[in-house]
């Protein structure tokens, strides 16, 4: 009978251990998955947000130069044309790099509008229509401002998502530690405390004889 009770206690402990281990295993799997997502979000913030922000800054610098050149009154048409054509070639080099980044549908829409403005500038350079070049440059700069705002919002969204997943991972880690502590307590009680109790003999009452 004692062996049966002993076996029963150990079976209970093993069963509880199995359940808790399964919960911890599932928790660890979820933690690893969340960690992967956190890593992807952090990489996206760098690769597709900070890098693109750098490209936008370069675009803006070149377009401000084109606009300033087009508005100069004391510069010959040929010099204006040469300088603007050279600057447009720099912009086109950035186009290839920008197009390789991950763009949302909204970003692609604004980027296409930006490319159209640059195409218009290129067209008006041949006609030496400096006024229209200045106007198209201004429109392209406004489009860049919109793209920049989108980048900021996307970056904030990715960062918030990464922080939320980090908090979730932290909570799961604390839960797993708590489960292990509870498991240790239950196992100790079933295998040690009850065993000690069974070994304690109740003294028999004194004989009246």
In a domain, 1, yes or no: no
Domain span at residue 24 reads 18-190
Which of 197, 198, 196, 193 minimizes the C-alpha distance to 13?
A: 193
How far is Cα 98 from Cα 114, in angstroms, rounded to an integer?
12
What local confidence, expressed as pLDDT, does residue 82 receive?
92
Looking at the structure of the chain, the number of domains it has is 1
Q: Is residue 90 part of a domain?
A: yes
Helix, strand or coil, per DSSP, at residue 76: coil
Average pLDDT (104-108) is 85
Q: Tokens for 155?
A: 């970056």
pLDDT in tens, 58-86: 999 999 999 999 998 888 889 999 999 99
User: Of the candidates 186, 189, 191, 180, which has an alpha carbon nearest to the alpha carbon of residue 21?
Assistant: 180
Residue 59 lies in a domain: yes
Task: With respect to residue 4, please indicate whether it lies within any of the assigned structural domains.
Answer: no
Residue-level pLDDT at 1: 47
pTM comes to 0.62
Q: pLDDT of 11-44, one tens digit each?
A: 666 677 777 777 777 776 776 676 667 666 666 6
Strand, coil or helix: what is 71?
helix
Average pLDDT, the chain: 78
- Tell me: pLDDT of 202 over 70: no
What whole-number distance in Å separates Cα of residue 112 and Cα of residue 103? 11
Structure tokens at 148: 């920049």
CB contact at 8 A, 194 and 9: yes
**Listed range (8-17, 52-61, 117-126) with the worst mean pLDDT:** 8-17
Give the integer Cα–Cα distance in Å for 56 and 46: 14
- High-pLDDT (> 90) share of the chain, %: 29
Q: Is residue 209 part of a domain?
A: no
> Measured in Å, how far apart are the chain's first and last C-alpha atoms?
32
The domain spanning residue 113 has which CATH number?
1.20.120
Biggest CA pair distance of the chain: 135
CA 28, chain centre distance (Å): 20
What confidence tier does 93 reach under pLDDT thresholds 50, 70, 90?
Answer: very high
Query: Given its phi and psi angles, is residue 133 left (phi above 0), alpha (psi -120 to 50 degrees) or beta?
Result: alpha
How is residue 203 written in tokens? 């003294």
Domain membership of residue 97 (yes or no) is yes
Asked if the model's pLDDT at residue 5 lies above 70, the reply is: no
Answer yes or no: is 3 within a domain. no
Structure tokens at 75: 């510069």
Q: Does any domain span residue 104?
A: yes
Distance CA 23, CA 25 (A): 5
């Amino acid at each position: 009978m004692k062996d049966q009770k002993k076996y029963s206690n150990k079976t209970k402990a093993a069963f509880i251990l199995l359940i808790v281990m399964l919960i911890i295993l599932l928790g660890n799997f979820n933690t690893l998955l969340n960690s992967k997502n956190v890593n992807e979000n952090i990489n996206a913030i760098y690769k597709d947000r900070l890098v693109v922000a750098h490209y936008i800054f370069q675009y803006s610098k070149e377009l401000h130069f084109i606009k300033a050149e087009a508005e100069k009154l004391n510069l010959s048409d040929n010099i204006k044309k040469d300088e603007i054509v050279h600057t447009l070639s720099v912009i086109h080099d950035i186009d290839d790099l920008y197009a390789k980044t991950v763009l949302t549908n909204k970003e692609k829409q604004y980027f296409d509008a930006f490319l159209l403005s640059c195409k218009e500038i290129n067209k008006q350079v041949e006609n030496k229509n400096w006024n229209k070049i200045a106007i198209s440059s201004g429109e392209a700069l406004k489009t860049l401002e919109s793209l920049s705002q989108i980048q900021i919002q996307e970056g904030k969204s990715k960062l918030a998502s990464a922080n939320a997943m980090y908090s979730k991972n932290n909570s799961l880690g604390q839960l797993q530690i708590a489960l292990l502590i509870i498991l240790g307590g239950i196992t100790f009680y079933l295998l040690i405390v009850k065993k000690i109790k069974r070994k304690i003999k109740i003294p028999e009452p004194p004989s009246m004889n």
